[in-house]
Structure 1
C-alpha cells in the first residue's frame, strides 16, 4: 500500500512541534549551555530564538504554498536541484536519528533518580521499543500520545515558572545569582556564542511542523496557526524557565549529571517537587523521541518517493505508517546504546557534538531554499515572511557563522570533522547511484 493519511488536526500539529522542541535540549541540555555561558545563556537562547523565528517564517511561507510530506527536503529538490534535495534530506535524517539517541540517553540519566543501580541500557531498550510500538500503530495514535505528552510538559513548565517566582518573592533572593560567581557573562562573548550552538540544538525539531503538514487536515490553516502558537510558547518556556532557574540557584550548580530543573526543585524545598519534575523531564525526553521517530521516518519516506532511497521505504501499512522507514529511523536507539555503553558519563555531550552538524546544515539550506523559492514565485498570496530577503540572508549568515565557530570550541570540535566527510560520502553515493 502507498500513501500517507491526513489525520492530524491543528492542535496535534502544534503539539508535535512542541514535543520535538521542548525536550532534552531544554530539560538537560540547558545545564550544558549554562556551563558554557553562565547567566548570559539567556542572551544565547534569545539569539537562537531569533534565528528560529526567521527559519519558521521561511518554512511557513513555503509550506502554506505547498504542504507536502518531506517539506524542506522536497523544496530543496524543487528549487535548488535534485542533488540539494538529496543532501538536505539525508543530512537531516542522520541528525534526527542521532538526536533520537540523545533523547533516549537522557532517559537513562533521568531514571537514575529512582533506580540508580539499574543499568541504563535496560531503560534505553525498554522505552525505545515502547515508542516504536506507538509510532507503528497509526499516525492517529501517535498524534494522540504526543498531544498528551506535550500537554504534560506545558503544564509542568508553567507550574515550574509559577513556583519559582513564588520562591523568589518569598525568599528575597532577587537577581543576585545573575552577577555572582564571575558575573553575568563569566566566560565572555565566546562563551555566549558557543552556548548559541547548544540553544540551536535545543530548538531543533521545531521544523517538524512542516514535515507533518503532509498528514494534516486543512494544512494551510493548521500550519499558520501551529507556527504562530509554537513560537510564542517556546519564547515563554525557554526564556521564562531559564530566567527563573538562574535566579534560584547559582549557575555553577547546573550540569548534565541530572536535569537543572530537578536541581532547582531540590533547592526550593517544596515537598516531592524534585521527583515530580524528574517525571516530567522523563516524559519530555520520551515526547521528543516520539516526535523525532515520526519525523525521521517521514523524511525517509519522502526520499524513497523521490527515488533517492530504496522503494521499500515508501511502502506503508494499512493504517498509513511507513513501517520500514520507521525501523531504519530507530537506528538512533542502537547508536545511543553503544555510546552509552562506551562512555556513560560523557554520552550526552558526544551525541550532541556529532548530530549538530546535520541540524545546522539543514537549517542553513532552508534559508537558501527560501531565497530560491521567492526568486521563482515572488511574494506568495498567503503567509509572507517579514523582512525578505534580509531575514533569510541574515539567518543563513548566522548558521554559517555558527558552523565556522565549532572547530574553535572544546565541546563541538568534532562537528565539522564528522560533518564534512559525511557530506562527501553522500555526494559520492549520489554521483554513483542517483545522478542519472
Structure 2
C-alpha cells in the first residue's frame, strides 16, 4: 500500500495533463505506460532480489556502494535524493493547482506552505504514524479509482448512446497522432509516474520481516499498477477525446465534467488532492531515509544521521524540504509553468538512478556467483531482463536529452552530476 501510495499520485492524476503524456502520444499513451510498466517490472525484480538477499534502509544506494564502488553509491544516493526532493515539490505544486478548483483566487504558495507544514509534522512523529496515515491515503484513492473504473466500464460498454466508446482511439487523428516518436516521449512521463515504486525496497529495511514484505509487495504492486494505470487510462480515453483530456486541469475531473454527474467533479478533485498528499507523504519518507543513509555512510554531515527518541531522522527530514522551497519560489515567479518545470528538473536523477539499479544488479549477481552463494529469491531470465531494462533506460535518457519539454532535465542534470563527481 505504501508503494502504491507513492506511485499513484500526480503521475497518474496530473502527469497526463498539460500537454504531457496524452498530448504527446494521444491514445498510444497506453503503449507508453505499458512500456513504462514493463521497465518497472524488471526494475522491481532486480530490487526484490537484492533486498531479500541484503536488506538495508539504504537500499539501492547502499547496494551500489557495496557491489559496484563507493563513488557510484554516492552518485546514486544523491541523484535519487535530489530527484525525490524535487518530486515532492512537483506533488505540492499539483496540490496548489487542485485547490484552485474551490479557491481560484488564493495564491498557490499559501497552499504549498500549509500542506507542506502538515505533512512534515506528520513525518516527524514516528514511522508507525507515517505508515498508518499512508495506508489510509492509499485506501481512499484506490477505492475511488475502483469506483471510477466501474462507472467508466458501464458508460463505455453499457451505454447505448454511442457517445462513449473505443472509437475515440482512432477518431481524432488516429491511434498514434504524433507517430512513434510521440508515443516514445510519453514513456519518459510514465517513468515519472512509476518513480516511487522503489519505495518498497527502502521501506523493507524497516519492516519486521523484509523477505516476506518484499515478496508480497513485488507481486501485488505490479498487478495493481498495471490495472490502475493502464485500465484507467484506457477507459478515460474512451470517454473523453484525447485532445480534450486535461488541458487545464486533471483529466479525471474533465471526465467527471463530461459525464455530468452532479457533485462528482468536486468528489474526484478531493480524491486527486488526497492522491497528491499521499504521494508527497511517501516521497518525504523516502528522501529522508536516503539522506540518513548518506550520513551514516560518511557521505553527508553526521548531524543528518541522528535519530529522535521515536527513531525519526529529523534533520534529514528538514533538509529534504528543499524541494518545497523550490516549488514555492517557482509558483510565485512562474505560476503557469511551475508544474512542468518541477517535473523536468526532477527527471534526471530518477532516470540516472533507475539506469544504475540495473547496472548494480549485474554486479550483485557477479558477486554472488563468485561467492557461490544461493539466492532465495531470483529474477527469472537473468541476465536478459536486466540487460533489456538497462538498454531501455539508456534510450529514455537519450530521448529526454533531445526533447524540448525535457531540456531542463539535461540543463539541470549534467552540471549536477559533474558537481557530485567532483564532490
Q: Is the pair's TM-score, using the shorter chain for normalization, greater than 0.5? A: yes
Q: Distance in 1 between matches of 2:52 and 2:246?
A: 40
Q: Which residue of 1 aligns with 2:137?
A: 149
| Segment drifting more, 412-421 vs 218-227 | 412-421
Q: Report how far residue 46 of structure 1 moved.
A: 0.3
Pairing of 1:296-335 with structure 2 (within 5 A): 296-335=287-326
Q: Which residue of 2 aligns with 1:50?
A: 38
Deviations 1:308-361 (A, max 9, x none): 000011100000000000000111111101111121111111111111000000
Q: Report how far residue 380 of structure 1 moved.
A: 4.1
Q: Which residue of 1 aligns with 2:6?
A: 20
Q: Does 1:189 align with 2:175?
A: no
Q: Does 1:418 align with 2:408?
A: no
Q: Which residue of 2 aligns with 1:290?
A: 281
Q: Which residue of 2 aligns with 1:95?
A: 83
Query: Paired residue for 2:338, among 347, 358, 371?
Result: 347
Query: Paired residue for 2:120, among 122, 126, 132?
Result: 132
Provide the alpha-carbon RMSD of the alignment: 0.9
Pairing of 1:343-422 with structure 2 (within 5 A): 343-378=334-369, 380-422=374-416
Q: Does 1:253 align with 2:239?
A: no
Q: Distance in 1 between matches of 2:342 and 2:309?
A: 35
Q: Report how far residue 417 of structure 1 moved.
A: 2.1
Deviations 1:22-71 (A, max 9, x none): 00000000222001100000000000110000000000000001110110
Q: Report how far residue 257 of structure 1 moved.
A: 2.3
Does the CA contact (< 8 Å) of 1:35 and 1:255 recur in 2? no
Does the CA contact (< 8 Å) of 1:29 and 1:256 recur in 2? no
Q: Distance in 1 between matches of 2:305 and 2:183?
A: 43
Q: Does 1:203 align with 2:197?
A: no
TM-score normalised to structure 1 length: 0.94
Q: Check 1:407–1:377 CA distance in 2 against 1; reply closer, same or farther (3 A cut).
A: same
Q: Distance in 2 between matches of 1:381 and 1:314?
A: 31
Q: Report how far residue 388 of structure 1 moved.
A: 0.5
Q: SS at the partner of 1:207?
A: helix
Q: Distance in 2 between matches of 1:304 and 1:231?
A: 32
The total of aligned residue pairs comes to 415
Task: In structure 2, list runs of 5 or more residues that go unmatched.
Answer: none
Does the CA contact (< 8 Å) of 1:20 and 1:292 recur in 2? yes
Does the CA contact (< 8 Å) of 2:246 and 2:254 recur in 1? no
Q: Report how far residue 255 of structure 1 moved.
A: 3.0
Q: Report how far residue 201 of structure 1 moved.
A: 0.4
Q: Distance in 2 between matches of 1:404 and 1:161?
A: 35
Query: Paired residue for 1:121, among 95, 109, 125?
Result: 109
Q: Does 1:233 align with 2:224?
A: yes
Q: Which residue of 2 aligns with 1:271?
A: 262
Q: Report how far residue 125 of structure 1 moved.
A: 0.4
Q: SS at the partner of 2:124?
A: helix
Query: Paired residue for 1:39, among 27, 35, 46?
Result: 27
Does the CA contact (< 8 Å) of 2:75 and 2:420 recur in 1? yes
Does the CA contact (< 8 Å) of 2:245 and 2:255 recur in 1? no
Q: Distance in 2 between matches of 1:47 and 1:256?
A: 24
Q: SS at the partner of 2:312?
A: coil
Q: Distance in 2 between matches of 1:272 and 1:166?
A: 19
Q: Distance in 2 between matches of 1:218 and 1:211?
A: 13
Q: SS at the partner of 1:397?
A: helix
Task: In structure 1, list runs of 5 or more residues that go unmatched.
Answer: 1-14, 430-436
